[in-house]
Amino acid sequence: MAKVNPLQFFRQVRQEIKKVTWPSRKEVMQSLVMVIVLVALAAAFFFIVDQILSWIVKVVFSIGE
């Protein structure tokens, strides 16, 4: 593997960073809202499933009493 001196490496890094297309503020906000909504939906789903499974376990264990 060819050795690259640190100065040349940082020049190459700067060149690559200039090629990056950064998202706009609007795109970032839209993504943020989508993530928050999906996290809330997932939390609600798992809460409901947990409650149902908890109820089923209580019913199953109360049969033996």
Q: What is the pTM of this model?
A: 0.65
**23 and 31 Cβ atoms separated by less than 8 Å:** yes
Whole-number pLDDT of residue 65? 62
31 found inside a domain = yes
29 found inside a domain = yes
Whole-number pLDDT of residue 1? 62
1 found inside a domain = no
52 found inside a domain = yes
Sign of CA dihedral 30, 35, 38, 39: negative
32 found inside a domain = yes
The per-residue pLDDT for range 5-29, each reduced to its tens digit, is 889 989 999 999 999 998 999 999 9
Overall number of domains in the chain: 1
3 found inside a domain = no
**What does the mean pLDDT of the chain come to?**
91
pLDDT-derived band at 38 (thresholds 50, 70, 90) equals very high
17 found inside a domain = no
Q: How many whole angstroms from its chain centre is CA 14?
A: 28
Domain hosting 54: range is 25-65
Whole-number pLDDT of residue 5? 85
